[in-house]
C-alpha cells in the first residue's frame, strides 16, 4: 500500500501546484489521475493553445505550463499513479483514509485533496451496436503507447486536433494509417491540417471523407471496419480502430463519497480552507463550488495554497506555522537539493 501525507486526485494544474505548496510545508504527496499523462484539461484538450492569464507569463502554451509545473515539483518527489481512476474511499479509525483505484491500487493518506477538475474524462464512443465486443481487442480510445501500433494497419476516426496529430504521428510508426471523418473540413490547428494534406498527397496516409463508421468485423478481434462514404459502403481491413471523438468529463465515483454536491461540483468552505463537508477531504480547482467561484487556473493555485496550510494544521495540531517567503527561506527538496537566493555579503567599506 502506498503511504503519503496528502493524496491528490487529479494531476491538472491545481493538483500539481498543490504538490509544490505541500512540499514547502514538508508534506509528501501522491497523485492519482485517470488519464495516462499529467496536465488535466491543458494536456488533454488544448496543449498547443496559448494561455494569456497566468501571472508572470504574458503568453504560455498550455503544454509548456504543465512541463514547467512538473519541473517545479520534481524536487518534492511526488508519487504518480496514472491511467487509474480513484474509485472508493474508506475512512480509518484514526481519521486517515484509504483510497482505492479501479485497478486496485491503494493509497493510505492523512488527507485527501480532490483536484478532479470537471471529473474523469470518459471517451465519446461511436454509436455502433457491437463496439463493446471489440474494446481492447482492436478498438482503443486512448493512445497510451504508440509503439503498440508499430507495423500495424490503423484507422483513426475523428476531425479534431487529436485525430489529426495522432494520424500524423502514426504515419512514422504504423504500416498503414487511414483517417476517417464525417466531414471534409477538419477542426484543428492549420499546420496539422496542412500536414495531413501533404501526407495524403505523398501517399503516406489514406483519407476517407465524408464518411461515418458503420460496422466492425472480426471473429476474436477486430479485422476490418465498414464506413459509409456518401452512401457507399467501404470496407477497410485493419488491426486497430482508434475513434478520437473527444472526451466527456464525469464526476464519476467521487459523486458517491458522501460529499455535498451542487450542480456536479463539490461544495467547499471557501471562507477557510476549501474543506468539504467531510473533515480531511478537500476539493480544489474546477471541481469545487462556492459563492463567486471562477473556474480558472489562477484560482486553483490559490485554493491549493490555502488547502495545504489547513492540512498542515490537521497533521500538526496546535503547532504554529510561520509563513516564510521562498526568497528568504529557500526551497529544500525532498531529493536533497536546495535552492536559495544569494546571501547578502556583510563587509565594511574602507
Ligand atoms: C479549451 C480551454 C481553454 C481554457 N483556457 C483557459 C485560460 O486561458 N485560462 C484559464 O485560467 N483557464 C482556462 N481554461 C480552464 C482551465 O483549463 C481549468 O480551469 C483548469 O484545467 C482546472 O484545473 P484543475 O487542475 O482544477 O482540473 P483539470 O485540469 O480538469 O484536471 C483534473 C484532472 O483530474 C482527473 N480526475 C478527475 N476525477 C478523477 C478520478 N476519480 N480519478 C482519477 N483522476 C481523476 C482528470 O482526469 C483530470 O486530469 C480553459 C479550458 C479549456 C477547455
Does the beta carbon of 298 sit less than 6 angstroms from any atom of ligand 1?
yes
CA 278 to chain CA mean position, Å:
25
pLDDT in tens, 133-181: 999 899 999 887 789 999 999 999 999 988 999 999 999 999 999 999 9
The answer on pLDDT for 321 being more than 90 is: no
How far is Cα 91 from Cα 69, in angstroms, rounded to an integer?
A: 31
Pocket perturbation via mutation, ligand 1, pick of 59, 116, 246 by most ligand atoms within 8 A of CB: 116
Ligand 1 center to 82 CA (angstroms): 16
* Chain centroid, CA 228 distance in Å: 34
- Distance (angstroms) between ligand 1 centre and the Cα of 128 equals 29
- Residue 126 and residue 176: Cα distance in Å, rounded? 22
Using CA of residue 176, residue 182, residue 184, residue 185, what is the dihedral sign?
negative
Q: Give per-residue pLDDT as tens, 72-93.
A: 999 999 999 998 999 999 999 9
Judge whether 98 and 47 are in contact, CB under 8 Å: no
Q: Report yes or no on whether pTM surpasses 0.85.
A: no
Given 3-state DSSP classes, what are the helix, strand and coil percentages for the chain, each rounded to the nearest 5? Answer: 25, 30, 45
Band (pLDDT 50/70/90 cuts) for residue 296 is very high
Ligand 1 centroid–CA 227 distance in Å is 34
Going by pLDDT thresholds of 50, 70 and 90, the confidence category of residue 301 is very high
Name which residue leads in pLDDT, 232 or 188.
Answer: 232
- 40 Cα: distance to centroid of ligand 1 (angstroms): 5
Judge whether 169 and 146 are in contact, CB under 8 Å. Answer: yes
| Dist. CA 81–CA 112, nearest whole Å | 15
Instruction: Supply the pLDDT for residue 122.
Output: 79
Nearest alpha-carbon partner for 6 in 57, 119, 23: 23
Q: What is the pLDDT of residue 343?
A: 79
**Is residue 297 in contact with ligand 1, taking CB distance under 6 Å?**
yes
Average pLDDT of the residues in 190-219: 95
Torsion of CA 63, 69, 74, 78, to 10 degrees: -100
Q: pLDDT, tens digit, for every residue of 97-123?
A: 999 999 999 999 999 999 999 887 778
Q: Give the position, in ligand 1's atom list, of the atom nearest the Cα of 285.
A: 26
My answer on whether omega of the bond before 210 falls inside 30° of 0, hence cis, is: yes
Q: Residue 83: which residues within 8 A CB-CB, separation 6 or more?
A: 33, 34, 35, 36, 103, 144
Measured distance CA(229)–CA(180) in Å, rounded: 9
Which is more confident, 218 or 341? 218
Query: 162-183 burial, b for 16+ CB within 10 Å, e for fewer?
Result: bbbbbbbebbebbebbbbbbbe
Distance CA 167, CA 223 (A): 19
The pLDDT assigned to 73 comes to: 98
pLDDT-based confidence at residue 300 (cuts at 50, 70, 90): very high
- How remote is the CA of residue 286 from the centroid of ligand 1, in Å? 6
Q: pLDDT category, 230, cuts 50, 70, 90?
A: confident
Q: For residues 20 and 348, which has the higher predicted lDDT (pLDDT)?
A: 20
* CA dihedral sign of residues 149, 155, 158, 161: positive
Q: pLDDT tens digit string along 237-294?
A: 999 999 999 888 778 899 999 999 998 899 999 888 999 999 999 999 999 999 999 9
Work out the angle at residue 303's Cα, subtended by the Cα atoms of residues 297 and 309, and round it to the nearest 5 degrees.
Answer: 145
Determine if ligand 1 sits within 6 Å of the CB of residue 116: yes
- Pairing between β-strand 120-123 and β-strand 247-250 as defined by DSSP bridges: antiparallel
Using an 8 Å Cβ cutoff, are 163 and 157 in contact? yes
pLDDT beyond 90 at 232: yes
Could you give the percent of the chain with pLDDT greater than 70?
100
Q: What's the mean per-residue pLDDT of the chain?
A: 94
Long-range interactions of 196-204: CB distance < 8 A, separation 24+? 196/164, 196/167, 196/168, 199/167, 199/168, 199/171, 204/171, 204/177
Cell of 223: 479485422
Amino acid at each position: 500500500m502506498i503511504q503519503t501525507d496528502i493524496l491528490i486526485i487529479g494531476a491538472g494544474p491545481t493538483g500539481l501546484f498543490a504538490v509544490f505548496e505541500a512540499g514547502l510545508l514538508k508534506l509528501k504527496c501522491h497523485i492519482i489521475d485517470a488519464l495516462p499523462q499529467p496536465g488535466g484539461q491543458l494536456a488533454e484538450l488544448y496543449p498547443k493553445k496559448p494561455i494569456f492569464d497566468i501571472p508572470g507569463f504574458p503568453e504560455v502554451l498550455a503544454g509548456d505550463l504543465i512541463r514547467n509545473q512538473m519541473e517545479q515539483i520534481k524536487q518534492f518527489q511526488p508519487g504518480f499513479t496514472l491511467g487509474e481512476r480513484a474509485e472508493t474511499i474508506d475512512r480509518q479509525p484514526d481519521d486517515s483514509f484509504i483510497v482505492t483505484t479501479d485497478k486496485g491500487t491503494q493509497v493510505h493518506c492523512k488527507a485527501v485533496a480532490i483536484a478532479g477538475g470537471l471529473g474523469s474524462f470518459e471517451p465519446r464512443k461511436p454509436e455502433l451496436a457491437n463496439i463493446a465486443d471489440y474494446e481492447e481487442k482492436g478498438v482503443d480510445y486512448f493512445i497510451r503507447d504508440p509503439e503498440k501500433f508499430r507495423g500495424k494497419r490503423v484507422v483513426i476516426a475523428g476531425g479534431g486536433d487529436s485525430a489529426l496529430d495522432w494520424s500524423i504521428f502514426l504515419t512514422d510508426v504504423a504500416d498503414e494509417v487511414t483517417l476517417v471523418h464525417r466531414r471534409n473540413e477538419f477542426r484543428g490547428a492549420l499546420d496539422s491540417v496542412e500536414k495531413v494534406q501533404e501526407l495524403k498527397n505523398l501517399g503516406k496516409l489514406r483519407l476517407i471523407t465524408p464518411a461515418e463508421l458503420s460496422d466492425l468485423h472480426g471473429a476474436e478481434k477486430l479485422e476490418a471496419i465498414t464506413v459509409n462514404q456518401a452512401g457507399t459502403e467501404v470496407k477497410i481491413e485493419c488491426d486497430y480502430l482508434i475513434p478520437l471523438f473527444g472526451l466527456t468529463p464525469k464526476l464519476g465515483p467521487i459523486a458517491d463519497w458522501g460529499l455535498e454536491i451542487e450542480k456536479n461540483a463539490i461544495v467547499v468552505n471557501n471562507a477557510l480552507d476549501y474543506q468539504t463537508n467531510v473533515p480531511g477531504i478537500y476539493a480544489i480547482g474546477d471541481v469545487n463550488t462556492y459563492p463567486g467561484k471562477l473556474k480558472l487556473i489562477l484560482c486553483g493555485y490559490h485554493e491549493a495554497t490555502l488547502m495545504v496550510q489547513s492540512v498542515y494544521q490537521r497533521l500538526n495540531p496546535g503547532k504554529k506555522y510561520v509563513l516564510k517567503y521562498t526568497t528568504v527561506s529557500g526551497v529544500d527538496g525532498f531529493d536533497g537539493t536546495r535552492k536559495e537566493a544569494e546571501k547578502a555579503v556583510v563587509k565594511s567599506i574602507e
